[in-house]
Amino acid sequence: MQWEMLPSPNFKQAVIDAQKICVLTMGVLEKHGEHLCLGTDYLTAHRIGCLAGERENVMVFPPFYFGQIYEARCFPGCVTLEPSLTLQVIQGVCDEIGRNGFRKIVIYNGHGGNDFMLNYFAQTQLWKQKPYTVYVQEKWIPDPELWKQWLAIREAKDTGGHACETETSYTMCDYPQGVRMDQIAEPTHSLDRLKAFETDGFLGIKWYSKYPDHYAGDARTANPEKGKIWQEILVKGLADFIKRVKADEVAPALEKEFFEREKSIRNFEK
């Protein structure tokens, strides 16, 4: 079920039918080489979320494209919010999802630059008790067999990661108008300009130091047939994650226990 497609009178029943579970898909607006559209990440993530949501009959929130993409602010078309505001917006959206009756929120992320931020966001849920539990899917393909299938059809074996063969292929599936194959640049590899910190350091400028043109990989071998296979693997991974969220009673119970203990400390301080 897609939130934005429902009429208001049907919404309460839809929440019940979705077992009070909502999927929030996330991406950003950023440069993807010279050949892919700015919305690649959020468009792809939302499509995967909708396909998985149909299989598991849960609600899918409208496309969301505010996240961590400060490393692309030097390119036209990138959209960012002030860092603390970004977290406030994500929290506000989750609070609104909760206010509408959902008790479990699955965050599906289509942009690697959001990873650290979303793990931190999940941790911040322990600051204040909420009527819902947030689940962040950390790994797209946890199943080793699915990962083997993924690698088996990948031709660009030694490079990839952004606007590459895989991203270009699954963008071609549903958004061919956002792909310009005639604009694909030569394959790119990391420039390693921060080699001194490659193994044990992290800097905000690290991604830019490697890929100053915001293109990592070789998209020349992309095609929609590969994209369909890869998309199906991602949908299976998310659908399985949602299924486990449906069955989970442990996380909400642990949060309840945690906040009861936290409340007892506050009462003691008084």
pLDDT computed for residue 267 by the predictor:
72
User: Pick from 31, 36, 62, 65: which is nearest to 177 by CA?
Assistant: 36
d(Cα 147, Cα 165) in Å, to the nearest integer? 16
Q: Compute the half-sphere exposure of residue 68: CA atoms within 13 Å on the CB side of its CA.
A: 18
Q: Compute the half-sphere exposure of residue 200: CA atoms within 13 Å on the CB side of its CA.
A: 1
Q: Which two tokens stand for residue 168?
A: 């270009």
- Contact status, residue 78 vs residue 69, Cβ threshold 8 Å: yes
Sheet holding 104-109, edge to edge: 59-60, 21-26, 104-109, 133-136
Global pTM reads: 0.95
Residue written as token pair 């929440």: 15
Size (the chain), residues = 270
- Contact status, residue 59 vs residue 191, Cβ threshold 8 Å: no
- Contact status, residue 21 vs residue 60, Cβ threshold 8 Å: no
CATH superfamily of 3-149+230-269: Creatininase (3.40.50.10310)
The tens place of each residue's pLDDT in the chain, 270 residues long, gives: 999 999 999 999 999 999 999 999 999 999 999 999 999 999 999 999 999 999 999 999 999 999 999 999 999 999 999 999 999 999 999 999 999 999 999 999 999 999 999 999 999 999 999 999 999 999 888 889 999 999 999 998 767 789 999 999 999 999 999 999 999 999 988 998 999 998 899 999 999 999 999 999 999 999 999 999 999 999 999 999 999 999 999 999 999 999 999 998 877 655
Domain ranges of the chain: 3-149+230-269
Percent of the chain whose pLDDT exceeds 90: 88
Phi (first) and psi of residue 139, to 5 degrees: -120, 130
Report the SS3 class of residue 60.
strand
d(Cα 104, Cα 129) in Å, to the nearest integer? 13
